[in-house]
Structure formats: C-alpha cells, structure tokens
C-alpha cells in the first residue's frame, strides 16, 4: 500500500547532488500552498528526471521505494531514507503570537538608540560601559 508523502501543486524544482541527499524536490504542496516544502531522497536521481516538473505526487511504496509521478510520467527511486521538510514559521506564529516587549524595555532601547545617534551620546554610553 502506498503512503502519500506530498502532493505538489504547480512547478516543482528537482535538484541533483553528487553526495547525500542525491535528489531534492522543492515546491508548494496542496496542503500548505503558502509554505515551501522540500523532499530529500538519500538516493541518486533517475537519469531521465527533468529539472522541473508540474503537479507532482510523491508516494512511499513497500521495500524502500518511492514513486514520483506527474501528469506525464512516473519515476521510481530506491532511497535508504526520505526526509520531508516543511516551512512552518507562518503556522507557528499564528498559533503562538510573539509577546509584546515590556514598556520599560522599549523605553530603554529608545534612549540607547537616541544616545547612539550623537557623538556626545556615544561617549556617555562608553563611559557607562566601563
């Protein structure tokens, strides 16, 4: 039974490398269209795999094989390991918004930056540092 690792929508970049990972697919998935996802395979890329694909689905098959399929064709890759990397910063900051800085810290940095804007202020900051 095949397990879908990712379903890409639109253009997908295929990067080859001589070392590990040998193949990396990068694009936007249907699940998270606003975030870039990369799938790295610990295997050599198929020789006839183009540099760019459209609307790709990546499935893990039995026996350590993965199928990369697009509308035109499908390729099999025998990979020791497959890593799926998704950019989650937007989801993280929606779930946990950054807390505002305390008023005294904002005031302190405004004063420090205002002092750093003049020679006299820089001299004062240097004297306070010692």
pLDDT in the model for residue 103: 95
**C-alpha to C-alpha distances, 19 to 15, 16, 24, 55, 81, nearest whole angstrom:** 12, 9, 11, 27, 14
Cα–Cα distance measured from residue 86 to residue 109, given in angstroms and rounded to the nearest whole number: 35
Task: Place 52 in a pLDDT band, splitting at 50, 70 and 90.
Answer: confident
pTM greater than 0.85 (yes/no): no
Average pLDDT, the chain: 87
Percent of the chain with pLDDT over 90: 22
């Amino acid at each position: 039974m095949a397990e879908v690792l990712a379903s890409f929508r639109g253009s997908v970049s295929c990067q080859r490398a001589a070392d590990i990972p040998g193949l990396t697919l990068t694009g936007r998935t249907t699940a998270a269209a606003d975030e870039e996802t990369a799938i790295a395979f610990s295997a050599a890329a198929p020789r006839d795999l183009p540099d760019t694909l459209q609307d790709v689905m990546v499935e893990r098959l039995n026996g350590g094989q993965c199928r990369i399929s697009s509308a035109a064709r499908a390729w099999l890759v025998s990979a020791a390991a497959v890593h799926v990397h998704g950019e989650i910063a937007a989801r993280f900051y929606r779930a946990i918004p950054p807390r505002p800085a305390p008023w005294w810290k904002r005031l302190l940095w405004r004063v420090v930056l205002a002092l750093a804007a003049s020679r006299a202020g820089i001299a004062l900051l240097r004297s306070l540092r010692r």
